[in-house]
Amino acid sequence: MALILYEAVILFLGMATAFGPVPRITWEPREVHLVHFQEPEVFNYSTLLLNEDKDVLYVGAREVIFALNSLDISEKKHEVFWKVTEQQKTRCAEKGKSKQTECLNYVRVLQQQNDSLLYVCGTNAFQPVCDHLKVTSFELTGRNEDGKGRCPFDPAQSYTSVMVDGDLYSGTSYNFLGSEPIISRNSPQNPLRTEYAIPWLNEPHFVFSDVVRADPDNANEDDDKVYFFFTEVSVEYEFLSKLMIPRIARVCKGDQGGHRTLQKKWTSYLKARLLCSIPDKNLFFNIVNDIFILKTPDSKDSVIYGIFTPQLNNVGLSAVCAYNISTVEDVFAKGKYMQSTTVEQSHTKWLRYNGEIPRPRPGACINKEARAENFKTTLNLPDKTLQFAKDHPLMDDSVTPIGDRPRLIKRDVKYTQIVVDQVRALNGTLYDVMFISTDRGAVHKAISYKNGMHIIEETQLFPNFDPIQTLLLSSKKGQQYLYAGSNVGVVQSPVAFCDKHRTCVDCVLARDPYCAWNPHLSLCVDIFKESETQQDWIQNIGGNASSCTDDVRERSLQHTFKHGSTAELKCSQKSNLAQVVWKFKDDVLKVESPKYRLLEKALLIFNLSDGDSGVYQCLSEEKVKNQKFSQVLIKHVLELKKVHPHTPSPAQPTTRTEGNGEELKASVVTTQGSAVYTSTTPVVTIATSRIVTNPIFPNIMSTVAGIERSELVPEVPEKTLFLKSNDNSLLMSLFLFFFVLFLCLVAYNCYKGYLPDQCLKFRSAMSLGKKKPKADFSDCEQSVKETLVEPGSLMTQSGEHPKPAHDTGYETEADYGNGHVQHDEEHSQSYKEVKDKPFDVKCELKFADSDAEGD
């Protein structure tokens, strides 16, 4: 197993393909209606809590807690400052922490205790405290409970918490150094915690926790379960360095600890590996960044969604894996345990335990069966079971994702948070809509279907690309919002932007379960905002837009221009999956001709003449599952102005607009005579607009637009393309370069007298009266040949390292690699050495000697 994981890392380095789907639409912050909340001098808006009954969003930031109107977060209802005292700050600074950043109070826990109180905890200058916050008066009660084990000391450390029936469950660290991890329940009656032992928790990084309720009428009388998710250092795999493993751990709500063994400790703590990998590529995603549990009325259908990245993420891969809650429960309830055995004194190995398992099953919740055997609570459990549970917290079976592979793999993006909404489309099918945030302030909204994944849109929530650290989704359909928190503020975004789709085809091709085309109003509407939906509304999540009848609104612009001038016909479309096609007099325009230049949002026509007048149509063509849908975006009618050679006044170009063309203005660049001016002016304008348009995915858009990509389409690496497209000219010039270098080297060595035979004759001829060196070259000859051959061989044999003839001291054995592929830098370095010192030192000294002898 360890070997497989090792391979994964190696293979991973070679795998730089698989882009993942391109978001169909990219919304810039100014294009959509977003509501921002940020207060001056307040940072780290790290904790969000929503109360949907009261329409309040609570925000925990650094040293302050806010209550905002959740329907419009720019409206602040309350705020309460929660600062560290000067004395505490000084004491914290004395321990070597930064007074300006670390020795402050970072709110880390924000939970609803009951209707009138919030339970809040903060790091409080490395002295975590918890308090109650009165909801109505918005005052802290000043209880200042010790927050140890509920809130981290260090604001940089990971934490997670969930409130279940008035008890706070949290995963954090228990000490100042952050070296003692803990999963605990803070309950006045029944506080419980994890054993402080490596097999239980090994340097965990907590990401999420939540409760999954048992069905109230389940025949087994099963208990509610609290799940924790974290990445920790593996104990079971041996690896060169620390191997990280994503974990799911669970405890039972009814756990009361053991009577003698595991007193005040979890008796139901079990953990398993969360597997997220691409089996056929041997690629493992070993870091879990966030989890969301999509709960359904029937808890059996609940799905756990997770965001993962590989441990060595040098190409920026992210994956989404989904897990069936039944699979999880089966692993804990029926799976094999792992057991550690000591080999060679101090070394321990974790292997599957195949021996007898005590009854009741260790780590199980108290259910009907246990009760029937008179184990009413965990306090009654026999020591044998408890001791086994204490020694075997780790399951041998892994939790495998639905479909045994990720739902989504995306390159060049780091996903940070995920929330999922279940949406019933018009035809009744349920879709899980994922909102996935990035470390660049954007959110991807995606749905998965049978054979892949579709990213409906990408919305830039934070204009300055601040990483999104918390995501929260409200659930009231029709008034549903997504809230995102970062270090600099909070953003509220609608879950859909249906009204931005202007045509039926656009509305349907969005494949957004929230949106449908209302043919009566000719509007793309949010189906959950309408009081009732009608049969003839058009929606097709498969992207079949054939039901759309032609759109009546045709925009048409009229232009009059002069001979020899340049026209810029504007046309823009939002879809990154569509291609723009221009038609002139109903024929597809050959934009490759030098007469035209196709830009991202316009067509340029140079040197206008009589033949160019007519109707230009701009169409967008989008292919979905082998069906192509095209629609006319705009029509431009060009008309030629009669030439009056004697009128020198530079008349303005006239542009008449017909129809609904308020956004699509056309401009015509008119010039007289100067050909140079004609061709340069428009290019400048466009160059700037090109930079502005798509700051996030500029390359993906220009190269991939128009091609529907499902996950894992293998692609030719960019470098290869580059070589091909340059017609081998790069190879040619490289070859020439090295050939010239080779000649220089020969000439230089010949001049220096390092080369025997003809060369030396040539040299002696050149140096005339100088005496022929009598040195014995046999020693050096071989090394000379080898050295000279090397520059060329470096290019051809990429795997082999050049060998100097003697050990010169500047190459070590390790550099030859134990079957490792050499890196380019090493090549160039060794090559440089070859160039600088064409021969080894011994040899050169000999020459010097022989020369001296000769003289």
Ligand X SMILES: *[C@@H]1O[C@H](CO)[C@@H](O)[C@H](O)[C@H]1NC(C)=O
Select from 216, 428, 645, 714 the one that contacts ligand X (CB under 6 A). 428
Which CB sits closer to ligand X, 440 or 846?
440
Q: How far apart are CA 805 and CA 786, in angstroms?
A: 7
Return phi, psi of residue 416, to 5°: -115, -40
Distances in Å between the Cα of 432 and the Cα atoms of 328, 422, 424 are 19, 5, 9
Q: Report how many helices (DSSP H) and strands (DSSP E) the chain contains, helices first.
A: 14, 45
Select from 90, 114, 464, 782 the one that contacts ligand X (CB under 6 A). 114
Burial class from Cβ neighbours inside 10 Å (0-12, 13-18, 19+) for residue 323 reads buried
Which CB sits closer to ligand X, 612 or 786?
612
Which CB sits closer to ligand X, 326 or 798?
326
Contact between 156 and ligand X per CB under 6 A: yes
User: Site map for ligand X, 591-610, x if CB under 6 A?
Assistant: ----------------x-x-
Assigned token pair, 62: 């650094």
User: Site map for ligand X, 537-566, x if CB under 6 A?
Assistant: ---xxx-x-xx-------------------
Which CB sits closer to ligand X, 7 or 115?
115
Stretch that binds ligand X, among 109-117, 134-142, 437-445, 474-482 (CB under 6 A): 109-117
Select from 74, 90, 116, 218 the one that contacts ligand X (CB under 6 A). 116
Stretch that binds ligand X, among 112-120, 740-748, 768-776, 780-788 (CB under 6 A): 112-120
Select from 52, 94, 115, 139 the one that contacts ligand X (CB under 6 A). 115
Which CB sits closer to ligand X, 121 or 283?
121
The nearest distance, CB 812 to ligand X, in angstroms, is: 41
Q: How far apart are CA 850 and CA 778, in angstroms?
A: 13
The nearest distance, CB 414 to ligand X, in angstroms, is: 16
Q: With b meaning 16 or more CB within 10 Å and e meaning fewer, what string describes 39-58?
A: eeebbbbbbbbbeeeebbbb
Select from 87, 427, 688, 796 the one that contacts ligand X (CB under 6 A). 427
Stretch that binds ligand X, among 16-24, 111-119, 308-316, 572-580 (CB under 6 A): 111-119
Which CB sits closer to ligand X, 14 or 542?
542
- Please count the other Cβ atoms lying within 10 Å of the Cβ belonging to residue 328: 21
Contact assessment for residue 805 and residue 779, using Cβ atoms and an 8 Å cutoff: no
The nearest distance, CB 232 to ligand X, in angstroms, is: 21
Contact between 324 and ligand X per CB under 6 A: yes
Which CB sits closer to ligand X, 487 or 693?
487
Residue 265: DSSP 8-state: B
The nearest distance, CB 497 to ligand X, in angstroms, is: 21
Contact between 649 and ligand X per CB under 6 A: no
Stretch that binds ligand X, among 304-312, 424-432, 663-671, 743-751 (CB under 6 A): 424-432
Dump the DSSP string for 556-568: EEEEEE-TT-EEE
Contact between 43 and ligand X per CB under 6 A: yes
Q: How far apart are CA 286 and CA 781, in angstroms?
A: 54
Contact between 640 and ligand X per CB under 6 A: no
Site for ligand X, residues 47 to 106, rule: CB under 6 A: none
Contact between 400 and ligand X per CB under 6 A: no
Dump the DSSP string for 282-335: TEE--EEEEEEEE--SSGGG-EEEEEEE-SS-TT-EEEEEEEEHHHHHHHHHHP
Contact between 303 and ligand X per CB under 6 A: yes
Query: What is the helix, strand, coil percentage profile of the chain, to 5?
Result: 20, 35, 45
Assigned token pair, 299: 């808890």
Per DSSP, the three-state class of 348 is strand
Select from 74, 137, 141, 326 the one that contacts ligand X (CB under 6 A). 326
Dump the DSSP string for 188-236: SS--EE--SSTTT-SS-EEEEEEEEPPPTT-TT-PPPEEEEEEEEE-SS
Contact between 117 and ligand X per CB under 6 A: yes
The nearest distance, CB 535 to ligand X, in angstroms, is: 13
Peptide bond into 360 cis (omega under 30): yes
Contact between 475 and ligand X per CB under 6 A: no
Strand-by-strand arrangement of the 627-640 sheet: 587-588, 578-584, 614-624, 627-640, 556-561, 654-658
Site for ligand X, residues 500 to 539, rule: CB under 6 A: none
C-alpha of 308 from chain center: 9
Select from 155, 401, 485, 682 the one that contacts ligand X (CB under 6 A). 155
The nearest distance, CB 507 to ligand X, in angstroms, is: 15
Contact assessment for residue 144 and residue 122, using Cβ atoms and an 8 Å cutoff: no
Which CB sits closer to ligand X, 156 or 691?
156
User: Residue count at the site for ligand X (CB under 6 A)?
Assistant: 30
Stretch that binds ligand X, among 226-234, 271-279, 299-307, 576-584 (CB under 6 A): 299-307
Q: How far apart are CA 65 and CA 430, in angstroms?
A: 37
Contact between 730 and ligand X per CB under 6 A: no
Per DSSP, the three-state class of 185 is strand
Q: How far apart are CA 381 and CA 267, in angstroms?
A: 9
Contact between 579 and ligand X per CB under 6 A: no
Q: How far apart are CA 289 and CA 467, in angstroms?
A: 13
Q: How far apart are CA 297 and CA 614, in angstroms?
A: 61
Contact between 429 and ligand X per CB under 6 A: yes
Select from 464, 549, 627, 733 the one that contacts ligand X (CB under 6 A). 627
Contact between 301 and ligand X per CB under 6 A: yes
Burial class from Cβ neighbours inside 10 Å (0-12, 13-18, 19+) for residue 112 reads middle
Which CB sits closer to ligand X, 418 or 541?
541
Stretch that binds ligand X, among 49-57, 295-303, 341-349, 838-846 (CB under 6 A): 295-303
> Which residues are near ligand X by CB under 6 A?
43-44, 113-117, 155-156, 300-301, 303, 324, 326, 402, 427-429, 487-488, 540-542, 544, 546-547, 607, 609, 627, 675
